[in-house]
Structure 1
Amino acid sequence: MAEGVFCDLLVRHDLRHFFSVSSAGTVSYQEGSPPDDRAIAVLQPLGIDISSVRARGAREHDLHEYDWIFTMDHENYEEILTFFPSHDQPRIHRVLEFVEGRSGDEVADPYYGTFREFEGVAEDLSLACEQILERMFEHYPYLAQHSGRS
């Protein structure tokens, strides 16, 4: 869901060509699986189609290829941190870190929950992605200029 929400935000700001965005799990037992039907259904009314996304596990080169890595929860955050020597850690953040009043919160895993819980995750991700992009505008001023936000 996060990949779809963030990519949609980039398209709306005409910034998609500046980014490489990819979702990956810390375990790969669902490699190749499509998103949960409820995730697809929640994002569809927003004009976001994630039906072609396939699950994959993080690969070592991912950890060095991406400037920013976001995790949904504390456990995955800690696991990702162990992949790097302490002096060589890229920007690793919890996805809600930049949302005022929510920096210690986790994005819930809605898999065993209800459709409403998937809606809640979509809301959390929309809010978080907006704030993440704002932070990127601060770090990369040319992005803000290109999006007309300078």
Structure 2
Amino acid sequence: MTKILVVCLGNICRSPLAHGILQSKLSSDKFVIDSAGTGAYHIGNSPDYRSIAVAKKNGIDISMQQARQFTASDFDEFDIIYAMDSSNYKNILSLAQSESDKEKVKLILNENPVLTNKNVPDPYHGDTSDFEYVFKILDDTCSLIADKLG
């Protein structure tokens, strides 16, 4: 069983989308997917209503997810940790206890050679089109990840 964690800042916009998308593309018999935020802003909250809406529009239900904060113990629990952007990547690495921990952390968009900007933009202060764009780039990238991990 491979365990994958996707991480953004508040765990209400980007990482819930990546969580739901990856879950829809990988077998639950072989993979466990979860998400977290580096900040404690929204612990216990559902994803942003706009993330829920864009996921639902694309046939994915993320409404039952609840925001939680990334902790150092996540390094013990997960095999792969995908950060949504370089800021969260650095925040995650700052909690690493070993080289083994650090090797688990990757920028999610590094998995997509087509994209030149390797940071998933935070749509929180944007509108519906920003959430749709984030869904698209995460969906494309998660398809590549699913193909690679099988």
TM-score range, shorter chain: 0.7 to 0.9
Q: 1:130 matched to which residue of 2?
A: 143
Instruction: Give the counterpart of 1:92 among 90, 105, 114.
Output: 105
Structure number with the bigger relative contact order (C-alpha 8 A, sep ≥ 6) is 2
Q: 2:131 matched to which residue of 1?
A: 118
Q: 2:3 matched to which residue of 1?
A: none
In the TM superposition, what is the alpha-carbon distance from 1:104 to its structure 2 partner? 4.5
CA contact (8 A) 1:64 1:90 kept: no
TM-score, normalised relative to structure 1: 0.82
In the TM superposition, what is the alpha-carbon distance from 1:60 to its structure 2 partner? 2.2
Structure 2: gaps spanning 5 or more residues: 1-16
TM-score, normalised relative to structure 2: 0.82
Residues 33-88 of structure 1, C-alpha deviation per residue, up to 9 Å, x if partnerless? 11111111111122100111111001222122111000110011111112224522
CA distance in 1, matches of 2:103, 2:89: 12
Residue 9 (1) aligns with residue 22 (2): no
Residue identity opposite 1:106 in structure 2: N
Query: Over the residues paired in the alignment, what is the CA RMSD in angstroms?
Result: 1.5
Residue identity opposite 2:118 in structure 1: D
Q: Which runs of 4+ in 1 moved over 6 A?
A: none
Alignment of 1:1-150 (within 5 A): 1-10=17-26, 15-85=27-97, 87-88=99-100, 89-102=102-115, 104-137=117-150
Percent same amino acid at aligned positions? 35
Residue identity opposite 2:45 in structure 1: S
Moved more, 60-69 or 86-95: 86-95
Moved more, 19-28 or 95-104: 95-104
Residues 10-33 of structure 1, C-alpha deviation per residue, up to 9 Å, x if partnerless? 2xxxx1121111100011221001
In the TM superposition, what is the alpha-carbon distance from 1:135 to its structure 2 partner? 2.7
Structure with the higher fraction of residues in strand conformation: 2
Residue identity opposite 1:77 in structure 2: Y
Equivalenced residue count is 133
Cα 1:87–1:105 shift into 2, 3 Å: closer
Q: Which has the larger radius of gyration?
A: 1
